[in-house]
Amino acid sequence: MTNFHFRLGTEVDEALRAGRPVVALESTIVSHGLPRPDNLHVARRIEATVREAGAVPATIGMVGGRLVVGLDDAELTRLATVDGVAKLSVRDLAVAAATGADGATTVAATSAVATAAGIGVFATGGLGGVHREAAQTFDESADLVTLARTPIAVVCAGVKSILDVGATLERLETLGVGVVGYRTRRFPGFYLTDAGFDLDWSVDSPEQVAAVLAARRQHGVQSGGLIVANPLPVDEQLDPALHDRTLAEGLALLERDGVTGKAVTPYLLAHFHSATEGASLAVNVRIILRNADLAARIAVAAARTAST
Ligand code: PSU
Ligand code: MN
């Protein structure tokens, strides 16, 4: 009989059993969000960053229909290099499993699977959100509704400026998803340090995030995800003028080429990477590595809190 359960990587399995810190990582940024051949190299650097900060990385993806929590290097290589890797949101997981597909998990799918595996902290680059024109297209990332029912802490640099950031924040509020700035009260815009919106809450340390997670557990009030918004320092962001130009071009090309649905995010990211001649890629990589480091420090603090 086919086994549809997920496979835990050996190291992840051991760490979870021992209550040691684990950080979930997504594979869509590897397969669809970053250009080859940098993607594989970056995926390995993300994992190394988590390790250096004292946690075990668990990159999640689907290989030949098998969900894996903690891809090994051969599996990571496969998802980074093989053609035809599907982009999997939560609704796609069972179909992809039953048909034996290779697939990369989005923030939504990674959050859901990580939670099922008992992992409480997840690092990514930027969250999906409400697309511009959503009032007509209804295009809102499943990342939002999934986080409404999935109690995981997601460290990200806000949502990409390709989205309607204000509408995304409104939806997060409606859906009951917590949002805290890391050492800031301004919501970051991924490539940009500041997307132009205030936040109600900020936290100053990994220990404080761990305390938030512990308080939620103690309250026992049903809650969803917690977004830890970690902005790039201003001197590391993408040049705002270059950003605005590239975004305007990208949105026009999207319309010209009739790109819709789940292809929108990868299309715009690829446009940024080529139009900025790698500048956005370098920024993107910095964002992910910084988030991986912070997520690992949160996981370390949370494991310490849980064992005391
Ligand atoms: N942010 C990035 N790079 C990405 C994504 C987000 O910087 O590749 C991916 C994530 O996996 C996210 C997905 O969950 O895009 C959102 O896609 P959509 O808008 O189709 O839901
Ligand atoms: Mn969409």
Q: State phi, psi for 171 to the nearest 5 degrees.
A: -65, -40
Residue from 26, 27, 28 to probe ligand 1 pocket by mutation (most atoms less than 8 Å from CB): 28
Is 125 a pocket residue for ligand 1 (Cβ < 6 Å)?
yes
Count Cα neighbours of 181 within 13 Å in the Cβ-side half-sphere: 20
Tell me, yes or no, if the pTM score tops 0.85: yes
- Helix 38-52 with 73-81: angle, nearest 10 deg: 140
The end-to-end CA distance of the chain, in Å, is 42
Atom 6 of ligand 1 has which residue's CA nearest to it?
126
Residue 143 counted as an annotated binding residue: yes
Examine residue 37 and say whether the peptide bond preceding it is cis (omega within 30 degrees of 0): yes
The number of beta carbons lying within 10 Å of the beta carbon of residue 218 is 8
CATH value of 6-307 in 3.60.70.12, 3.40.1790.10, 3.10.20.600, 3.40.640.10: 3.40.1790.10
Q: Write the pLDDT tens digit of every residue in 83-129.
A: 999 999 999 999 999 999 999 999 999 999 999 999 999 999 999 99
- Centre of ligand 2 to C-alpha 184, Å, is 28
CA 165 to chain centroid: 16
Is 107 assigned to a binding site? yes
Q: Look at strands 178-182 and 202-203 and give their pairing.
A: parallel
For residue 200, the CA-to-ligand 1 centroid distance in Å is 25
Question: Could you identify the atom of ligand 1 that is nearest to the CA of residue 87?
Answer: 11
Nearest CA to ligand 1 atom 18: 141
CA of 183 from ligand 2 middle (Å) equals 30
Is 262 among the catalytic positions?
A: no
Per-residue pLDDT reduced to its tens digit, 145-181: 999 999 999 999 999 888 999 999 999 999 999 999 9
pLDDT the model gives residue 2: 46
- Are 56 and 25 a contacting pair, CB within 8 Å? no
